[in-house]
Amino acid sequence: MNKFGFTLSVPRVIDYDKNDRSVADLIAAKEPTFRLCIECGTCAATCTAGNFTDFSLREINVLLRRGENEAAAEKINRCMLCGKCILVCPRGVNTRNVLFIARETLSKTNGHERL
Amino acid sequence: MNSMVDVLVIGGGVAGMEAAGQLARSGYSVILAEKEPLTGGHLKNWYHLFPDRRDGNEVGEYLDNLVKNKNIEIRNNTCITGITGRKGKFTATASDGQVVEAEAVIVATGFDLFDSRRKEEYGYGIYPNVITSADLEKMFRNGSVKLADGGVPARIGFIHCVGSRDEKVGNLYCSKLCCITAVKQAMEVHEKISGVKTFCFYMDMRMGGAYYEEIYREAQEKYGVSFIRGKVSEVSQGYNGRLVIKAEDTLAGRPLRMELDMVVLMAGMEMSDAGEILAGKSSLRRGENRFFSTADNHTASNRSNMKGVFYAGTCTAPMNITESISHARAAVTEVVSYLREKKQRDE
Ligand code: SF4
Ligand code: SF4
Ligand code: SF4
């Protein structure tokens, strides 16, 4: 009898060593300002998509940086590429380009054909 | 008017007064040039100081007494706009045509508070109940925190990093003091208005000073100040006249909207206009952050690129009062060594 039930739940840890962070590296190579995000959330505060759906560019950025690509891919199409976030980002992240490249890269990555 | 002294100190704020006072105590003749009608700088506008919340006037009195010295000639309303000369003798000119000659110069031109109107999205100068940290200090000094219509605010939000850490206004640096100021001011608001609710919107809580973290803790424990991690994107005014702020509650991962009666902008520190003018009419170098750049970050933070011209205080970087005083004293040590060595050479 399994007294602890560990097998019942999928671990929710971010497995940093197993995760594939090459998507983030590719984005940073094409749009170096991706590295400048400090997760302040100003973009998400002003984002129309984020006010109605479960979407935050800040969250996408951190998910990609940790290699949680699937979670990012699931949400990233909710962005309308309107560019409001560029106007407010205090770090000068070229947000729209980050999103654009992220979408492109994620759609080319195995297992994310749904994009 | 043409006068020759040992040291010209440019700027009569905390650092300049401290430097002038210490030099005078050691027997040097000093002209202290202040562009305003009175010395004291920004300290005059500050009610209570962190971390111990003593009255700013106490430090003001200490400085006033320090500069009451026969070796110091205070010249108010004197804005020094240029320095020329080389080691040995400097000639400084003021906007009104005065000329001062000195063997050494201490530049203590300080900082200006960021003009919050430049962050238009926060509505300073547009919505009457959006005020700055400096405006709130004035209210504290006058004894009450009131809305524009005389009412008592029930909810007050503090927005951190206004004009600092923001590429959009060209200031990448952190002003270092505004986090602790917000915490201090939130606590004082609670003391003035019973039952008020306060919220600090921050990106990072930078409590890097003696007893800062303890105050942060006290603000939570004793006053129930709420801290929300997210930079406010905009302030607007709702149909009912109350202010509405938008931020992302980044720790909850959801956008947050909140009505507030009053918004306080934690204005950052910038190179002062007086410093900018001086830099333009001398060969003094400035860093990327526009403050004066020192000869060596670690070992010569009082020296400039002009031998015989030294720096004291916030004209080189954001500093608190304790640091400004220490930096000014360090500048005095440099000046004294410089003048002694010069004298030996001349003899
Ligand atoms: S570009 Fe996308 S993330 Fe940015 S504000 Fe528009 S919808 Fe939101
Ligand atoms: S506004 Fe810029 S720095 Fe802030 S979370 Fe968004 S992308 Fe990152
Ligand atoms: S001290 Fe705090 S409020 Fe001021 S610029 Fe730094 S992080 Fe922002």
pLDDT: is A10 or B23 the higher one?
B23
Residue A7 is predicted with a pLDDT of 59
pTM higher than 0.90:
yes
pLDDT at res. B346: 84
- Interface touch B121/A38, C-beta < 8 Å: no
Q: Which residues partner with B89 through β-bridges?
A: B86
Residues 6+ apart with CB under 8 A from B78: B33, B34, B35, B94, B96, B98
Residue nearest (by alpha carbon) to ligand 2 atom 1: A89
On the 0-12 / 13-18 / 19+ scale of CB atoms within 10 A, B37 is exposed
Tokens standing for residue B49: 């100081």
Q: For the beta carbon of residue B267, count every other beta carbon within 10 angstroms.
A: 26
Size of interface A-B (CB pairs under 8 A): 64
Structure ipTM: 0.89
- pLDDT above 60: residue A113: no
Inspect the interface and report whether the beta carbons of A45 and B168 lie closer than 8 Å.
no
Tell me the pLDDT band of A2, cut-offs 50, 70 and 90.
Answer: low
Instruction: Express as a percent the part of chain B with pLDDT over 70.
Output: 99
Q: Is the pLDDT of residue B2 over 90?
A: no
Q: What is the pLDDT of residue A13?
A: 93
B chain contacts of residue A42, beta-carbon cutoff 8 Å: 230-233, 247-248
pLDDT of the residue at A6:
57
**Bridging pattern class, strands B80-86 and B89-94:** antiparallel
Cis peptide before B51 (omega within 30 of 0): yes
* HEC-encoded secondary structure of B265-304: EEECEEECHHHHHHHHCCCCCECCCCCECCCECCCECCEC
Nearest by CB: A45 against B167, B203, B230: B230
B41: closest CA among B326, B324, B347?
Answer: B324
Where residue B86 falls among pLDDT bands split at 50, 70, 90? confident
Closest CA–CA distance from residue B231 to any residue of chain A (Å): 5
Tell me what pLDDT residue B186 has: 98
Q: Do B255 and A59 touch (CB under 8 A)?
A: no
Does B247 sit within 8 Å of A41, measured CB to CB? yes
Compute the average pLDDT of residues B118-128.
97
Q: Which domains does chain A have, with CATH numbers?
A: 22-110 (1.10.1060.10)
Question: Which of B97, B102, B83, B103 shows the shortest CA–CA distance to B1?
Answer: B97
The predicted pLDDT at position A11 comes to 82
pLDDT at position A114 over 60: no
Measured between CB atoms, which of B231, B255, B256 is closest to A40?
Answer: B231
* Confidence at residue B88, expressed as pLDDT on a 0 to 100 scale: 77
pLDDT in tens, B21-77: 999 999 999 999 999 999 999 999 999 999 999 999 999 999 999 999 999 999 999
Domains and CATH numbers, chain B: 2-110+272-346 (3.50.50.60), 116-268 (3.50.50.60)
Q: What is the pLDDT of residue B87?
A: 66
> Whose CA is closest to B109, among B340, B267, B282, B266?
B282
pLDDT digits over B198-210, tens only? 999 999 999 999 9
pLDDT in tens, A35-51: 999 999 999 999 999 99
Out of A41, A50, A92, whose CB is closest to B231? A41
Q: Using CA atoms, how far apart are residues B179 and B204, in angstroms rounded to an integer?
A: 9
Looking at the complex, report in whole angstroms how far the Cα of residue B227 sits from the nearest Cα belonging to chain A: 14
What does the pLDDT look like over B153-184, one tens digit per residue? 999 999 999 999 999 999 999 999 999 999 99
Tokens in use for B336? 């004294």
Q: Give alpha helix (H) positions in B130-232.
A: 133-142, 178-192, 212-221
Residue type, B93: T
Tens-digit pLDDT profile for residues A48-90: 999 999 999 999 999 999 999 999 999 999 999 999 999 999 9
pLDDT at residue A10, as a whole number: 75
What 3 state SS string does A86-101 have? HHHCCCCCCHHHHHHH
Angle, alpha carbons A107-A90-A115 (nearest 5°): 10
pLDDT tens across B262-304, in order? 999 999 999 999 999 999 999 999 999 999 999 999 999 999 9
Q: To the nearest whole number, what is the mean pLDDT of chain A?
A: 89
Q: pLDDT band at A111, cuts 50/70/90?
A: very low
pLDDT at B229 over 90: yes
Q: Average pLDDT of chain B?
A: 96
pLDDT band at B347 (very low <50, low <70, confident <90, very high): confident
Residues B71 and B30: beta-carbon distance below 8 Å = yes
Q: Assign B17 to helix, strand or coil.
A: helix
